[in-house]
Amino acid sequence: MAVQKLKVGMAGLGRVGKLHAINFLHRTPRAELVAAFSPDPAEIAWGRQNLEPYGVTLYDNYDKMLEHPGLMAVAIGTATPVHAEETIKAIDRDLHVLCEKPLSTDVEVCKSVVNKARTKPHLKVMCGFSRRFDESYREVYDKISQGLIGRPSVLRSQTCDKHDTSGFYVAYSAWSGGVFVDMSVHDIDLTLWFFGDDVVPKTISAYGITAVQPELKKFNDYDNAVGVVEFHNGKIAYYYCSRMMAHGQEDTTEVIGTEGKLSVNCNPQRNLVNFYHPGGITREAPSNFIGRFGPAFVTEANEFTAACLDNTPLPMKLSNAVKAVEIGAYLQEALVTGKQIHFDEIGRRMERAQI
């Protein structure tokens, strides 16, 4: 008896798209990668070498890929500005969607995707926040749920990339939405997971510098930034994002509760090897996010596939993807303007704090 597989099309074959494509092709037993799209000839050339030999049909037109016979789902790993458009087109064709974060850098556009998904409740539409599929972060959530640290009150989380001297991040900042929307959105999503997605910001403030890439200023962006969100329920989140780590990727999180603390990756290591030598003890850190979260992307692909085939709930709400971008956008505004932003208890923005 033939086992049904989820027939998936991959949109985008950049760094993240390649990762998703390989995962659906080789590491997701219940899925079958049948098609892939990219407008980039170099990415198509990669697909000819790495995907086509396994029966994957390549397209340089997204709309044509959506017409691929038997297609059931689309994974979207293209540039952020087209995430929403491509997601909506897939929903219109009655296809399940796994879209890389963020749905858009524009909150209203994010909302339009959520509204479109609501018109097709039988479809599974998920925004991929990879840390939700990481074993360590899941253990933190479980321990919080068991009450092992009391009431979680402070979250301190960071997303820090290895310094890239190529100038890529300067060009990328033209459309990335800024460091808080592009990078800290992961940490914000963790906040909604650990504190509860009903938390309402009270104040938002942010500060930044351009320490190694002054060219970022022309896009109102920074290579290092700190943001603080105070919530109405007495909780605080502190975010740090950086693009100048000399040693490698360093994404860490602490959740401090009234009866204890949980931490994740506070001593980053590429593997379990420590090098002992006359100069001391050293270890290597991952060079990029794939080194830290590669296995989480595999889990994400498998759980998305299972939800589509078995009609089971997705592990996260699509509406959280909107709230994470919304908070990120407010942090970016506070960063650029230097002004603290205030909200009332139901989340309405106020011009100044109430006395």
**Half-sphere exposure of 72 toward its Cβ, with a 13 Å CA cutoff?**
17
**Which residue, 299, 325, 323, 316, is CA-closest to 125?**
316
pLDDT in tens, 105-125: 999 999 999 999 999 999 999
Q: Give pLDDT, residue 18.
A: 98
CA distance 185 to 239: 10
Q: Give pLDDT, residue 42.
A: 98
Q: Give pLDDT, residue 351.
A: 81
Neighbours of 54 (CB within 10 A): 11
pTM summary value: 0.95
Q: Which residues of the chain have pLDDT under 70?
A: 1-2, 352-355
pLDDT in tens, 3-17: 899 999 999 999 999
Q: Give pLDDT, residue 267.
A: 93
Domains of the chain: 6-128 (3.40.50.720), 133-294+324-350 (3.30.360.10)
Q: Give pLDDT, residue 2.
A: 67
**Half-sphere exposure of 102 toward its Cβ, with a 13 Å CA cutoff?**
35
- Going across the sheet that includes 6-11, the strands are 57-59, 31-37, 6-11, 73-76, 96-100, 125-128
The three state secondary structure string of 87-149 is HHHHHHCCCEEEEECCCCCCHHHHHHHHHHHHCCCCCCEEEECHHHHCHHHHHHHHHHHCCCC
Token code pair at residue 76: 């979207």
CA distance 74 to 88: 11
Q: Give pLDDT, residue 105.
A: 96
- Residue 282, beta-bridge partner list: 275
